[in-house]
Amino acid sequence: MSDQPSTDLREAVRSRYAEAARAVLEPRPGITAQCVESSAPGSCCGSSATDSCCEAGSAAEAVGGFGESLYREGETDGLPEEAVLASLGCGNPIAVADLHEGETVLDLGSGGGIDVLLSARRVGPSGFAYGVDMTDDMLSLARANAAKAGAANVEFLKGEIEALPLPDASVDVVISNCVINLSTDKPAVLAEMFRVLVPGGRIGITDVVAEDHLTPAERAAAGSYVGCIAGALSRAEYLDGLAAAGLADASVTFTTEAAPGMHSAIIRAVKPAAR
């Protein structure tokens, strides 16, 4: 998917999302987290609100981005503005995961915390929502947002989604919003999801997924790695990876076309219950 060594790619991802977090933490005219995410290095975001880097952004943006309104009307009411401004997802994993009161939820690559805060509301005081992210500025933003929201049942942990800082069988539901495509070791992420889920637990994820006929080179030509396009798995690769990790009843459903042959998608699967 890219010729760059994986450590370089990971650092490029971390640096891009640190910049996106700072666009919210230290607001400047015309610079949004979304345009930082999608722009070419060094070209982002002019110094005035009229100088929009997003016009020169990725292929995803050229065809309308990942969907203007990922969340239902009113769904984000009452959240800190900074959590909404930092939203960089490609779907709504909360809607996908069908969360219930009392459940423990884990969000992989939690960014500014929007999906963790929404999950915390859904699971209520008897439930708990964790977010894991590797980028310090994103963690600072998410923790500030949790404090502003007065959310007592959330925690943001520093870590990589390929080596989750949580014990085996400790969460009921794994969610994630437009992050797994950014991982340089996707089999490790899928294995970690399996490990931390309780038997009978489930995943409800949104991610960018390629049509099966697109080669890695064609995916790379459709957009950048840090912009969530080039690193996307194909649907067949996703399904094979979920099965190899031990997850069952898997499905990958395309929703919005983000670039030619590349889609926002909903991914569901369950960890088989122990016998």
Ligand X SMILES: C[S@@+](CC[C@H](N)C(=O)[O-])C[C@H]1O[C@@H](n2cnc3c(N)ncnc32)[C@H](O)[C@@H]1O
Binding piece for ligand X, criterion CB under 6 A, among 149-157, 171-179, 208-216, 259-267: 171-179
State the nearest-atom distance from the C-beta of 137 to ligand X, in Å: 9
State the nearest-atom distance from the C-beta of 216 to ligand X, in Å: 18
Place of tokens 């490029």: 12
161 binds ligand X (CB under 6 A): yes
Separation of alpha carbons 150 and 145, rounded Å: 9
Separation of alpha carbons 166 and 172, rounded Å: 13
Distances (CA, A) of 170 to 1, 37, 39, 164, 271: 33, 32, 37, 11, 13
Smaller CB distance to ligand X: residue 41 or 102?
Answer: 41
State the nearest-atom distance from the C-beta of 272 to ligand X, in Å: 26
State the nearest-atom distance from the C-beta of 109 to ligand X, in Å: 3
Find out whether 49 and 58 touch, Cβ atoms under 8 Å. Answer: no
179 binds ligand X (CB under 6 A): yes
State the nearest-atom distance from the C-beta of 213 to ligand X, in Å: 25
Place of tokens 């969000």: 107
Helix, strand, coil shares, percent, the chain, to 5: 35, 25, 40
Which of 232, 130, 114 has its CA nearest to residue 173? 130
252 binds ligand X (CB under 6 A): no
Binding piece for ligand X, criterion CB under 6 A, among 38-46, 155-163, 166-174, 194-202: 155-163
Strand, coil or helix: what is 169?
A: coil
182 binds ligand X (CB under 6 A): yes
Separation of alpha carbons 239 and 247, rounded Å: 9
Q: 106-145: which residues touch ligand X (CB under 6 A)? A: 109-112, 114-115, 133-135, 138
State the nearest-atom distance from the C-beta of 52 to ligand X, in Å: 19
Binding piece for ligand X, criterion CB under 6 A, among 95-103, 118-126, 160-168, 235-243: 160-168
Question: Can you tell me which of 208, 228, 230, 269 binds ligand X, judged by CB under 6 A?
Answer: 228
Query: Residues 237, 240, 243, 245: is their CA dihedral positive or negative?
Result: negative
Q: Where on the chain is the footprint of ligand X (CB under 6 A)?
A: 13, 17, 87-89, 109-112, 114-115, 133-135, 138, 160-162, 177-179, 182-183, 228
